[in-house]
């Protein structure tokens, strides 16, 4: 009779040569004589899994766990259970594995993924964060964490996690493309395009990346084309600033000022409860009136605007540490104003706004000048100036 050890060695050799049927039969013969061999049960379960026979794999791997197989057996068993849709059982196995000290980062990651599949997104994010800490080079853990955060509707945290996945694994295509999708979802088409082009630099024939690049290029061109400077009041009336804030056109602020060559420059006022928009129009005519030379956004009640939540513009701001920064109404209005006035991405609008708040007298971008400026208050009220942001075309 062939010794069990020889049966096992021959079976493993057959598996290594790709003879799955022979290897499986050999392991079964070995286990009939040595039923407590946890390693052989693990190999048998792995062989069934490689053939896609998940029921047989789960039964063999359960035996491996019962007979003392620890991390490898438990991981393989949980994966087989997940394949069979038995997610609660898979999570239970992984929780037991995670209780071992020190916890294996793979167990933490797999547990987070199973919880994600169960739609337990908050708990999934906690386990995946632990996996990222335990394995600083694991790009897939960071990617899975991003998916969990996105499912939790925390897009800022998701973007930070996807960026971390790309940093850990620069060739991880799915992470880059998902990062690009997330950036595009908040209007960051320029950064999204950069990530998509990074994929194509590595994989020139990547069909999805090529298609996404064309979509992003068109979206970026459309965003720039919506730049309000140089447009007319017709385009202004369709802007998010006017529509979302429900700004209403009022009377011109002053009599038209004659300009060289004929015609007159006008300033028209738009108002909302917390905002005023002063629009300087040149002497041109046409269906839409004169072209916009300057736009001045003024907060009529700055303190209240700073205390109020931005539930109008719904601006998402990503801080330098990758977290979502709290945005009040004043900030949401200011960033929306800069983005549309200049036709720039939200990241650029945030950078320009930060420069002004940090004391820069003015900043230039795309042929325009941006600065803080004031307008007089109501007649008879000294010191009643109102402050805001002035964007004007460079002369």
d(CA 365, CA 381): 35
pLDDT tens digits, 233-278: 999 999 989 998 999 998 765 555 554 444 568 889 999 999 999 9
pLDDT tens digits, 334-361: 999 999 999 888 878 888 999 999 999 9
pLDDT tens digits, 75-92: 999 999 999 999 999 999
More confident residue, 225 or 45: 45
Helical pair 38-50 and 4-16, crossing angle rounded to 10 deg: 30
Task: Find, among 303, 279, 262, the residue nearest to 386 by Cα.
Answer: 303
pLDDT tens digits, 93-105: 999 999 988 889 9
More confident residue, 197 or 266: 197
CATH class of the domain defined by 4-223 = mainly alpha
pLDDT range class, residue 52, cuts 50, 70, 90: very high
d(CA 164, CA 143): 8
Distances (CA, A) of 201 to 177, 238, 247: 13, 38, 45
| Confidence (pLDDT) at 366 | 78
Domain boundaries, the chain: 4-223, 233-393
d(CA 69, CA 27): 16
Q: In whole angstroms, what separates CA 312 from the centre of its chain?
A: 21
d(CA 289, CA 206): 47
Helical pair 54-66 and 38-50, crossing angle rounded to 10 deg: 160
């Amino acid at each position: 009779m062939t010794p069990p050890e020889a049966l096992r060695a021959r079976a493993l050799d057959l598996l290594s040569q790709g003879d799955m049927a022979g290897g499986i039969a050999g392991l079964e013969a070995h286990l009939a004589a040595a039923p407590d061999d946890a390693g052989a049960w693990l190999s048998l379960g792995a062989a069934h899994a490689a053939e896609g026979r998940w029921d047989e794999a789960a039964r063999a791997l359960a035996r491996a766990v019962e007979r003392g197989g620890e991390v490898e057996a438990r991981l393989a068993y949980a994966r087989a259970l997940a394949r069979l849709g038995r997610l609660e059982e898979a999570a239970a196995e992984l929780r037991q594995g995670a209780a071992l000290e020190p916890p294996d980062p793979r167990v933490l990651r797999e547990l987070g993924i199973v919880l994600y599949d169960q739609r337990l997104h908050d708990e999934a994010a906690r386990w995946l964060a632990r996996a990222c800490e335990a394995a600083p080079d694991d790009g897939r853990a960071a990617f899975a964490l991003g998916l969990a955060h996105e499912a939790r509707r925390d897009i800022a945290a998701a973007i930070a996690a996807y960026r971390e996945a790309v940093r850990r694994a620069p060739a991880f295509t799915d992470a880059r493309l998902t990062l690009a999708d997330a950036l595009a979802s908040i209007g960051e088409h320029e950064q999204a395009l950069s990530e998509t082009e990074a994929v194509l630099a590595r994989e020139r024939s990547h069909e999805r990346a090529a298609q996404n690049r064309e979509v992003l290029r068109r979206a970026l061109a459309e965003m720039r084309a919506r730049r309000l400077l140089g447009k007319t009041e017709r385009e202004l009336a369709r802007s998010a600033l006017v529509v979302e804030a429900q700004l209403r056109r009022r009377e011109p602020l002053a009599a038209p000022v004659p300009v060289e060559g004929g015609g007159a420059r006008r300033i028209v006022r738009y108002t909302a409860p917390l905002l005023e928009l002063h629009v300087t129009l040149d002497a041109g005519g046409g269906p839409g009136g004169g072209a916009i030379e300057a736009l001045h956004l003024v907060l009529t009640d700055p303190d209240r605007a700073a205390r109020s939540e931005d539930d109008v513009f719904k601006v998402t701001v990503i801080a330098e540490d990758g977290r979502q920064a709290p945005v009040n109404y004043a900030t949401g209005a200011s960033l929306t104003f800069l983005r549309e006035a200049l036709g720039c991405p939200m990241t650029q609008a945030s950078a320009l706004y930060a420069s002004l708040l940090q004391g820069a007298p003015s900043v230039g971008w795309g042929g325009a000048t941006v600065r803080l400026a004031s307008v007089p208050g109501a007649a008879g009220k000294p010191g009643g100036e109102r402050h805001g942001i002035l964007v004007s075309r460079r002369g």
